[in-house]
Amino acid sequence: MIVSRVRRTLVERKLVERGMRILAACSGGPDSTAMLFALARLAPDLGFTLCSASVNHGLREAAAAEVEIARKQAAMAFVDFYPLVLNLKKGAGIQLNARNGRYVALKNLATEIGADRIAVGHTQDDQAESVLMRLLRGAGIGGLAGTHPMRIDGVIRPLIDCRRNLVHRYAFSKCSEIVFDPSNADTRYERVRVRQNVLPLLERENPAIVRQLADLADDARDQQKTLYNHAQRLIIEACCDVSAQGSNKSAADSPVTPNAPEGPARMVLDVPDEPDRGRRGDSNRIAPGSVPVLRDESATVATEQQSPTERLHYDSNTLSKSVFRAAERATRRSALRLWIRGRTGIEPGRSHIEQVDRALKKKGEVWLPKGWVILVSRETITCLRRTSRLKKNGK
């Protein structure tokens, strides 16, 4: 059953193509073990080649032995194996650091060996947990999109349509030696608390809740994609309207001196694991060329996929206010978020978007982190950096 479901996921979600090389990230645990053997079974028929890698994070004494278990599993599946070692220090945020370090190591290996995809073992239950976690944090439609079956950096999740209990049953039928990660039972972590306490309670009320939450993520992702396309067109229309009117005078009349870098901060092309956008007031800085942990994969824009004309519109620091006011609320707010992110490299919080949206009704200014400000005049919306003179005067 697991093999047929994985096959359907790979084909219907278009996760792999013939001739590709897939790197399976394997910890030796039941999820990745099941994924490894299912992919090995499907590789000849679907026309891809498979290899495996396991990461020793250097955080537990048993880590080296667990990598050896993953090596044995790879040998049983008749695939090449690559051990990877990280030197991480224990401390606050260790799970996040370990996850980011693991993905960097896997991406580097994939580049070295010519792998087209990195497969990880997230199940339908993991998807349901992600949606619940983001809902509890106040996520919008982007957060409800959950964990993406295929990220823009080539990470795929072949088990995303498989229930965890069936995955584990298949894993133990293939291999008797399975790794147990003690952090999966540590209630200090939010995901574990949701898994052990929240989701079982919901399942008692609705036994189909896991599948329905996963379906909600699929629906939200489709709607987010449509909304993003509308938002892009709105930005282009608003920019063209300003260009036609020659309305960039508002920036010259402003007490704020333009000090933005040439061109926008480039959109993120590589997104690490488990983006969890949705918290109110979140405004993390995205440095150009960096690989931050984003909370909304579907809102991430790959600039190389945009036309030169579209990229020019993100360079514009001024847009037409009337065009934005005439747009639907959802499209307008999505476009504001997209434009601000493209102009500044900052991920605006929900409160920032709400303030700018309210300012569109009259006039006003919204102060953003890292020295940026949105000015709303009678005719235009302008995104500029604050000058050092204004900062010294406390304005």
User: Domain spans of the chain?
Assistant: 2-122+157-207, 227-392
In order of 9, 218, 224, 291, 331, the CA distances from 145 in angstroms are 17, 6, 8, 21, 17
Pairing outcome for strands 372-376 and 364-367 = antiparallel
Residue type, 267: M
What's the pTM value of the predicted model, to 2 decimals? 0.77
Q: Report the run of H or E that residue 304 belongs to, with start and end.
A: none
Helix ranges, the chain (H):
2-12, 30-46, 63-76, 94-113, 124-136, 141-144, 164-174, 190-193, 199-205, 209-245, 249-253, 308-315, 321-326, 329-344, 350-359, 388-392
Strands in 380-385's sheet, in edge-to-edge order, are 318-320, 380-385, 372-376, 364-367
Query: From CA 78, how far away is CA 128, in angstroms rounded?
Result: 33
pLDDT tens for 135-183 read 999 888 888 999 999 999 999 999 999 999 999 999 999 999 999 988 8
Query: From CA 285, how far away is CA 273, in angstroms rounded?
Result: 18
The string of DSSP letters for 94-121 reads HHHHHHHHHHHHHHHHHHHHT-SEEE--
Query: Residue 315's pLDDT band (boundaries 50, 70, 90)?
Result: low
Is 250's pLDDT higher than 60? Answer: no
User: What share of the chain in percent tops pLDDT 70?
Assistant: 78
Mean pLDDT score across all residues of the chain:
82
Task: Summarize the confidence of residues 254-272 as an average pLDDT.
Answer: 36
Residue type, 136: L
CA-based nearest residue to 318, from 257, 367, 383: 383
pLDDT tens for 287-297 read 333 322 223 33
Class of domain 2-122+157-207: alpha beta
Residue type, 158: P
CA-based nearest residue to 106, from 76, 73, 82, 70: 82
Task: Look at residue 352 in the predicted model and tell me its pLDDT.
Answer: 94
CA-based nearest residue to 341, from 324, 358, 353: 353
User: What share of the chain in percent tops pLDDT 90?
Assistant: 64
Is 303's pLDDT higher than 80? Answer: no
Task: Summarize the confidence of residues 323-328 as an average pLDDT.
Answer: 95
Strands in 21-25's sheet, in edge-to-edge order, are 80-85, 49-56, 21-25, 117-119, 155-156
Task: Look at residue 274 in the predicted model and tell me its pLDDT.
Answer: 38
Given a contact cutoff of 8 angstroms between Cβ atoms, the answer to whether 325 and 334 are in contact is no
Query: From CA 162, how far away is CA 146, in angstroms rounded?
Result: 15
Q: What CATH architecture does domain 227-392 belong to?
A: 2-Layer Sandwich (3.30)
Query: Residue 79's pLDDT band (boundaries 50, 70, 90)?
Result: very high
227-392 shares the fold of 2-122+157-207: no
Query: Residue 386's pLDDT band (boundaries 50, 70, 90)?
Result: confident
Query: Residue 57's pLDDT band (boundaries 50, 70, 90)?
Result: confident
Cβ neighbours of residue 299 closer than 8 Å, sequence gap 6 or more: 142, 224, 228, 277, 334, 337, 338, 341
pLDDT tens for 184-229 read 888 988 999 999 999 999 999 999 999 999 999 999 999 999 999 9
Task: Look at residue 312 in the predicted model and tell me its pLDDT.
Answer: 41
Task: Look at residue 60 in the predicted model and tell me its pLDDT.
Answer: 79
Query: Residue 102's pLDDT band (boundaries 50, 70, 90)?
Result: very high
